[in-house]
Structure 1
Amino acid sequence: MAINLELPEKLDSTVERAHLAAEHIFRPISRKYDKAEHEYPTELDELGKIAKESRKGDRDTDKSAASGEDTVNGANLRSVLNARELSWGDVGLMLSIPYQGLGNAAIAAVANDEQLERFADVWAAMAITEPSFGSDSAAVTTTATLDGDEYVINGEKIFVTAGSRADHVVVWATLDKNIGRAAIKSFVVPMNTKGVTVARLEEKLGLKSSDTAVVLFEDARVPADNLLGSPEIQVKKGFGGVMQTFDNTRPVVAAMAVGLGRAALEELRAMLESAGHEIDYDKPAAAQHASVSEFIRLESDWESSWLLTLRAAWMADNREPNSAEASMSKAKAGRMVNELTNKTVEIGATAAFSETELLEKWARDSKILDIFEGTQQIQQLIIARRVLGKSSAELK
């Protein structure tokens, strides 16, 4: 039986709008904000309004799915298509669009119906990582203590994307350090809450147009109903609830890598053709110029990354467990985009090292796509656990 890999026509408008924004808004200002780190890109304000309207449509899709209607292709697939096209323009600017923060994905993944409505119009950053740990999300030390009808949050979070720009932040904190993973919950915290402070902004290798902040929480009080999902500590379930966030966001990060990778592939193809090296898919790769053979290999790697990403997003839309597939897409795409952008710089020679082109910027931007939302090693560990049916205690 043949498999139809074409995207449904109803998503054509999503792809078209995002690509137009990437081409006509992102690309022209890409180098400008790469040089002006921490300067807010005001050109994105209009896109923020569009993103807010788009989320309303996503919520309608989710309601249809909850009522038993056949979703098939919904909000998650639209998100990865949007991320792919915008990242073709500039990944850092894509992460800077108002009302489209990583914390918004967390709210969509874990919140109940009342919270989805209440936080529908916020711009939420995501605060997970702490100075004492990187990819081991279970090592959270930030605390949330119930005091009456409020939680009091204390701790320090680092590498908070858009932490200085968003109006809210989704914070991972533990209700009881002695219980372990099961006590970790996520909380929606307004950035203007007393006790919430942006301590500093990081200077980074890439994604300079996207601010990355250190955020301190010192006796920050939030209403008890700002805890996303259930407040009950279910030891047997572990912290699967908050981890579901990653099942939604990892395919989006993979799509970012695919978008950036396509930009590099297009540039690499143009360089080869301008040098007189034709790419002939009817001839064996080994019978062609070495650079052409390398291009074909990289392109096939890119294609497989995209197919894995589509699969993970489709499964999320259809309420199918996709933890392994989400990690597969993230691991494959993160590794692919790093090799691809570095190879493009290598073949591009002097032009690729200068600021006349965006090649060197793409190589710098690509590095983080293999790190945040879980490193390569973490993704492989998750995949192994799912494939072998092992728990985190059994396979470390």
Structure 2
Amino acid sequence: MAINLELPSTFDSTVERTHLAAEHFLRPVSRKYDKAEHEYPVELDELAKLAKKGGGASSGGDRPSGASIGAVVAAREMSWGDVGLLLSMPGQGLGNAAIAAVASPEQLEEFSGVWAAMAITEPSFGSDSAAVSTTAVRDGDDYVINGEKIFVTAGSRADHVVVWATVDRSAGRAAIKSFVVPMDTEGVTVARLEHKLGIKASDTAVLRFENARVPAGNLLGSPEVDTKKAFGGVMQTFDNTRPVVAAMAVGLGRAALEELRRVLEEAGHTVDYDRPAAAQHAAVSEFIRLESDWEASWLLTLRAAWMADEKQPNSAEASMSKAKAGRMVTDVTNKAVEIAATPGFSETSLLEKWARDAKILDIFEGTQQIQQLIIARRVLGRSSADLK
């Protein structure tokens, strides 16, 4: 029996709407904000208003049927326009995915409409999320948060930030919880903004928390320290966000492939799918390889998102999609620069920019090595203590 790999028609409007936004709002100013790092993209305010009027993507409130597939489809199309600008979209921060993943119904209502960044990484660790040392100490009806977070995407622009902190250092990873912290909370400061290789349209901040007091109700999920469950609640965030990051890589990869095809055709090399790749020009053969890798990445991403919508455990699949797409997009964009030669390395096209933007998609939300470790644990049925 044949397998239909096409998106259901219910997502046609999402594809059309988000692609038009990417084409008319993001792509035209892509180079502008690559050159103007830390300058706020004011064009996004108008786009956010249009998205809100049109019932755009949920920002941490309800999770309607098909929401995960809808999110990856939107991320794919918008990233075709510009990944950095997508990461700067008001109301659609990475912290919103954390709220959607683990918040209670009451919290979903309370935090509906916020723009939340996500603060996990600290100066003392990179991909080891269990090494969180930022503390959250209960004091009456509040928690008092102290610590420093680095590489916080949109950390200087969002109005809230989801902070990972430990409520009991002696209890290990089981005590790591996530807290929704308004950025105007006393004791929360933006220490500095990073200068980066790519996604320059998106600010990356260092945040400091010095006796920052938030209501106890801002703790996402259960406040209980359950050593059997470890910190599966907060880690569930990644099961939502990793397919979205994979979709960003797929969108950026498609942009690079489209430009590379144009360059090849201008040089007189047509991609012919009816002939063996080995019988065609070497550059065309390489294009076909890259395109097949891109297709595999998209199918893995769809699978992880579909499982999330069906309430099926998708930790392995989320990591598979992220690992595959992250590796694919760096390969595709770098090869596109190489094959295009001078136009690819210059600023006459966006290829060199896309090659710089691509690398972060292989790093944040867990590096290639972390994804492979998670996949190995799930496939082999081993715990984090057994397989490090």
TM-score (norm 2): 0.98
Instruction: Decide which of 279, 285, 291 is 1:293's aligned counterpart.
Output: 285
Residue deviations 1:265-305, cap 9 Å, x none? 00111111111112111111111111111011000000000
Structure 1 residue 213, shift from structure 2 partner:
0.2
Per the alignment, in what secondary structure is the counterpart of residue 338 of structure 1? helix
> Are the counterparts in 2 of residues 51 and 98 from structure 1 also a CA contact under 8 Å?
no
Instruction: Decide which of 226, 237, 241 is 1:245's aligned counterpart.
Output: 237
Distance of aligned partners of 1:51 and 1:131 in 2 relative to their CA distance in 1, 3 Å threshold: farther
Instruction: Decide which of 211, 221, 232 is 2:203's aligned counterpart.
Output: 211
Residue deviations 1:5-64, cap 9 Å, x none? 1111111111101100111111110000000000000100122234554345985554xx
Distance of aligned partners of 1:57 and 1:101 in 2 relative to their CA distance in 1, 3 Å threshold: closer
Distance of aligned partners of 1:294 and 1:56 in 2 relative to their CA distance in 1, 3 Å threshold: closer
> Aligned partners of 1:58 and 1:203: how far apart in 2?
29
Instruction: Decide which of 330, 348, 362 is 2:354's aligned counterpart.
Output: 362
1:261 correspondence with 2:253: yes
> Aligned partners of 2:7 and 2:277: how far apart in 1?
29
Aligned to 1:22: 22
> Aligned partners of 2:309 and 2:51: how far apart in 1?
19
Distance of aligned partners of 1:250 and 1:176 in 2 relative to their CA distance in 1, 3 Å threshold: same
Aligned to 2:5: 5
Structure 1 residue 3, shift from structure 2 partner:
1.4
Aligned to 2:190: 198
Structure 1 counterpart of 2:14, one-letter code = T
Aligned to 2:310: 318
> Aligned partners of 1:319 and 1:356: how far apart in 2?
46
Aligned to 1:41: 41
Within a 5 Å distance, the mapping from 1:93-242 to structure 2 comes to 93-242=85-234
> Are the counterparts in 2 of residues 80 and 251 from structure 1 also a CA contact under 8 Å?
yes
Aligned to 1:54: 56
Structure 2 counterpart of 1:210, one-letter code = S
> Are the counterparts in 2 of residues 193 and 220 from structure 1 also a CA contact under 8 Å?
yes
> Are the counterparts in 1 of residues 323 and 371 from structure 2 also a CA contact under 8 Å?
yes
Per the alignment, in what secondary structure is the counterpart of residue 236 of structure 2? helix
Structure 1 residue 342, shift from structure 2 partner:
0.3
Distance of aligned partners of 1:343 and 1:55 in 2 relative to their CA distance in 1, 3 Å threshold: closer
The two structures, once aligned, show a CA RMSD in angstroms of 1.2
> Aligned partners of 1:191 and 1:57: how far apart in 2?
17
Identical positions, percent: 80
Aligned to 2:32: 32
| Number of residue equivalences | 386
Per the alignment, in what secondary structure is the counterpart of residue 54 of structure 1? coil
> Are the counterparts in 2 of residues 51 and 99 from structure 1 also a CA contact under 8 Å?
no
1:391 correspondence with 2:374: no
Distance of aligned partners of 1:125 and 1:60 in 2 relative to their CA distance in 1, 3 Å threshold: closer
TM-score (norm 1): 0.96
> Aligned partners of 1:198 and 1:378: how far apart in 2?
28
> Are the counterparts in 1 of residues 174 and 229 from structure 2 also a CA contact under 8 Å?
yes
Per the alignment, in what secondary structure is the counterpart of residue 302 of structure 1? helix
> Aligned partners of 2:50 and 2:378: how far apart in 1?
37
> Are the counterparts in 2 of residues 48 and 100 from structure 1 also a CA contact under 8 Å?
no
Aligned to 2:295: 303
> Are the counterparts in 2 of residues 51 and 100 from structure 1 also a CA contact under 8 Å?
no
Distance of aligned partners of 1:10 and 1:379 in 2 relative to their CA distance in 1, 3 Å threshold: same
Structure 1 residue 348, shift from structure 2 partner:
1.1
Distance of aligned partners of 1:58 and 1:393 in 2 relative to their CA distance in 1, 3 Å threshold: closer
Per the alignment, in what secondary structure is the counterpart of residue 320 of structure 1? coil
Residue deviations 1:105-130, cap 9 Å, x none? 10000101000000001000000000
Distance of aligned partners of 1:55 and 1:81 in 2 relative to their CA distance in 1, 3 Å threshold: closer
> Aligned partners of 2:130 and 2:29: how far apart in 1?
38
> Aligned partners of 1:188 and 1:194: how far apart in 2?
14
> Aligned partners of 2:327 and 2:57: how far apart in 1?
30
Instruction: Decide which of 282, 296, 306 is 2:274's aligned counterpart.
Output: 282
Residue deviations 1:245-278, cap 9 Å, x none? 0000000000000000000000111111111112
Within a 5 Å distance, the mapping from 1:334-353 to structure 2 comes to 334-353=326-345
> Aligned partners of 2:49 and 2:168: how far apart in 1?
39
Structure 1 counterpart of 2:312, one-letter code = E
- Structure 2, unaligned stretches of length 5 or more? none
Per the alignment, in what secondary structure is the counterpart of residue 179 of structure 1? helix
Distance of aligned partners of 1:4 and 1:240 in 2 relative to their CA distance in 1, 3 Å threshold: same
> Aligned partners of 2:239 and 2:351: how far apart in 1?
31
